Amino acid sequence: MNAENPIWALISTFGLMSLFAVGGAAAAVPEMHRIAVDVHHWMTDKQFTDAYAIAQLSPGPNVLIVTLIGYAVAGIPGALAATLAMCLPTALLAYYVSRLLNRPSQSRWPGLIQAALVPLSIGLMAASALILAQSTDRTIAALLLTVLVAAIASVSRINPLWLLLIGGLLGFAGIV
């Protein structure tokens, strides 16, 4: 980490990233992966996918994967710094914008911008899926499990937690 303060690196990285995370936390995963694994070497590829799995399996917003990244970099202060840097700036922005736009329905621009952002966030989430799949699905059985879960979750309204637990059981049994 050289002379650079890791806490400050976390704050500047995630503070800036949150302002570009259009479409929520899942859309920011490729950028998190690029920064944490490729640029700063804060984590290995395997640690990153583990962090993603832990964040999915835990209660609370899925954006809290940044808590795990922050902890890997600088312990508990790092976890708190990363979480606040990712969550507070855009929450404050949302607060001020919501006060400015007392009647958002009067203008057509919010609706237009929202519609324009939809394809971009889907593209970002698809990129997340590809990057995570490349480090997760290293065996035929693992790839098969991913495809099956994708198919089941696409056509049914089953609670996602069950599918995650089944994945964990298959892993425990050494099948994937």
Site membership for other proteins, residue 77 (CB under 8 A) = no
Site membership for other proteins, residue 50 (CB under 8 A) = yes
Distance CA 23, CA 118 (A): 8
Distance CA 24, CA 121 (A): 8
| Shortest separation between residue 59's beta carbon and other proteins, angstroms | 5
Site membership for other proteins, residue 21 (CB under 8 A) = yes
| Choice from 11, 68, 74, 85 touching other proteins (CB under 8 A) | 68
Q: With respect to other proteins, which residue has the nearer C-beta, 3 or 155?
A: 155
Distance CA 37, CA 156 (A): 34
Site membership for other proteins, residue 140 (CB under 8 A) = no
CA angle 81, 83, 88 (to 5 degrees): 95
Site membership for other proteins, residue 169 (CB under 8 A) = yes
Task: Determine how many CB atoms are found less than 10 A away from the CB of residue 50.
Answer: 15
Distance CA 36, CA 14 (A): 11
Q: With respect to other proteins, which residue has the nearer C-beta, 10 or 86?
A: 86
Q: With respect to other proteins, which residue has the nearer C-beta, 11 or 55?
A: 55
Site membership for other proteins, residue 120 (CB under 8 A) = yes
Are residues 167 and 149 in contact, defined by beta-carbon separation less than 8 angstroms? yes
**Residue count at the site for other proteins (CB under 8 A)?**
109
Site membership for other proteins, residue 172 (CB under 8 A) = yes
Are residues 125 and 27 in contact, defined by beta-carbon separation less than 8 angstroms? yes
